A and B are shown apart, each in its own frame.
Chain A
């Protein structure tokens, strides 16, 4: 049958292929325009020396990997990398732990649990500028409510945002608060998919609450947990707004992450430095990409 298809069918097959391509085309054009081109442009920016003059006149000097070398050898790089690691890992670990605890808590539906759960989503609904500004007021050294509360317990003034020892911690706390709802929602949805009869059976076998969590909830939640952590990682790596609003990456460079560094080079000073900013941005993309690959790898292993 396949050896000698009638002519009409061949024609129809070709037409079908064209239809398929045509239906795909909008998507491909969209991907090229909004994903491939920006990525290409970012790489192009990072391997040239785009001063404002070169940016306007369109004649940047090709410098190869010089921007990357400059960044890797900069004193600020190691501290920014360390800050990024602390900020990202600290944030997602705490967000996940708190989100999971709350999801398990809300899973046993009780009166008002829906209303309470809805309230936990508030951080998600607030515009970032509002929550970040509110956090920076609360953490103000002299007049913040946090220090006022601590004073009531006899703890002296902590310069949350203005001391190099605590500013990274302060922005991490604010970011954890922001990320809990996302973890809560996804993990809660994941919990709904765990069959109730498993718990029943475990209960009959005499498993306690902790054992049920340890041997049923946690393992069965693994795929959902992994995607939550991956999304959290990618999202947190590129956080700029909350840190920028609260500390500007300061004092000095104490809370400067790679994302903040990139933003500051490009838009934070009087003179835009697009090329190093793009280079830092590309490093971030690489890190996120590596995390994505690790995720795929882990998923294959567990499957």
Chain B
């Protein structure tokens, strides 16, 4: 008989196993439909968030489980780094095995919603009217709401009270750009470093520039307007005149904060998330809102995550999802989220009242959040990331002296126009 040798059979078998393994990796979890069905009955819900710093025993993880318990399920929570999360979400969307809930950084919501992988909140009957209009705007696309903010953070100016006292600057005197500029010059005259901010070539750079950009009256649809040039000229003059260090060009917001904590800087532009750290600094600190050019408070960009619900084949799962979402966003729930995250300002009026009743010192931040603006608002949606990239490149050009603010922004507008096709 024509029998293959043992070694041949072994090798063929090995190949078959490899081929099987190869095939198994291609179809998107072919067994998952039955898998999720059994999972639904046994109660395993999946949840992704960008908080790897909160492990399974953290207050945050426990809160998620409590809400799951009230809805009668247990949640399998996976934490990713913020940028990794968006990519993971895209891959999961492509393979059709997205989790039940993803907490997404707010500019990513419209991108994923546009890709058709998110369920609109109205589709499973979640009431979104409780949320502040300016905050939830980042979750809206073409009239539908695809996510709800679990809280919001934004930017303001932290100051080092010791330095301001020595320089004779009253933080209350900062009302507009002129008075702020005067304060910075006074600090410089007193021999201290006036301000630091982050102008790194990433989304963080745009995030930090926007309060000045919007505060001058500029719009993201016109990056080279005279108002925009004024805002960039302000930043450029600070770097040129030594009011801000040259390293702001490569500073991330964290680096900026480290610089502020050395006690050498009078002001730092930074966010709600540093409240705890500021309280622990070796010097007394305070917060003022970022002034608009001609007075008033500049609109600051909102930061923070949105709860989104990826499309599921098994629509019966939405009922549980809705319960979990409602539990996470009661006024008490929002306050708890806020304090867990050192500090997230609640995204509903009721939640804001509740957190103020508990901690009155948060008042400037609550106000800042109320006047804040979503980056993808004004119906920019998926165009925002492209505009933002053009903007941070323009900012970097001007600050590093390779182009004048006007030329840098003209190039930025041309780039944004080409990228968005408008």
Contacts and interface: CB of A to CB of B under 8 A. Distances in A.
Most chain A beta carbons < 10 A, residue from B4, B86, B201:
B201
B90 interface: yes
B172 interface: no
Nearest to A21: B11
B203 interface: yes
Interface string B177-208: 00000000000000000000000111100000
Nearest to B19: A29
Interface in A133-167: 136, 140-143, 157, 159, 161-164
A300 interface: no
A52 B111 contact: yes
B226 interface: no
Contacts of A33: 22
A22 B11 contact: yes
A161 B8 contact: no
Interface residues of B, number: 52
A14 to B, nearest CB: 9
B400 interface: yes
A268 B393 CA distance: 13
Given A29-B19, A53-B115, A19 B399 contact: no
Given A52-B111, A269-B203, A251 B15 contact: no
A11 B11 contact: no
B112 A251 contact: no
Given A26-B15, A269-B388, A248 B90 contact: no
Most chain A beta carbons < 10 A, residue from B4, B203, B245, B250:
B250
B224 to A, nearest CB: 16
Given A29-B19, A272-B90, A248 B11 contact: no
A38 to B, nearest CB: 13
Contacts of B245: 141-142
B83 A267 contact: yes
B22 A270 contact: no
Contacts of A30: 18
A56 B115 contact: yes
Contact of B250 (A29, A52, A162): A162
A271 B385 contact: yes
Contacts of B117: 56
Contacts of A44: none
B234 to A, nearest CB: 18
Most chain B beta carbons < 10 A, residue from A53, A140, A250:
A250
Nearest to B245: A142
B289 interface: no
Given A18-B8, A55-B94, A141-B245, A252 B111 contact: no
Interface in B1-50: 2, 4-5, 7-8, 11-12, 14-15, 18-19, 22
A18 B115 CA distance: 48
Interface string B380-397: 001011101100011011
Contact of B401 (A18, A55, A164): A164
A174 interface: no
Contacts of B399: 162, 251
Interface in A44-86: 51-53, 55-58
A19 B11 CA distance: 7
B82 to A, nearest CB: 10
A251 B2 contact: no
Nearest to A271: B385
Given A25-B15, A53-B116, A251-B249, 10 more contacts: A22-B14, A25-B11, A30-B18, A52-B114, A52-B115, A52-B382, A247-B201, A248-B202, A252-B397, A270-B111
Interface of B: 2, 4-5, 7-8, 11-12, 14-15, 18-19, 22, 83, 86-87, 90, 93-94, 107-108, 111-112, 114-117, 200-203, 245-250, 382, 384-386, 388-389, 393-394, 396-397, 399-403, 408
The 6 closest A-B pairs by CB, nearest first: A22-B11, A270-B385, A271-B385, A251-B400, A250-B201, A162-B249
17 contacts: A22-B8, A22-B12, A22-B14, A23-B11, A56-B116, A58-B94, A140-B247, A162-B247, A163-B400, A247-B250, A251-B399, A251-B402, A252-B201, A270-B385, A271-B382, A272-B86, A272-B87
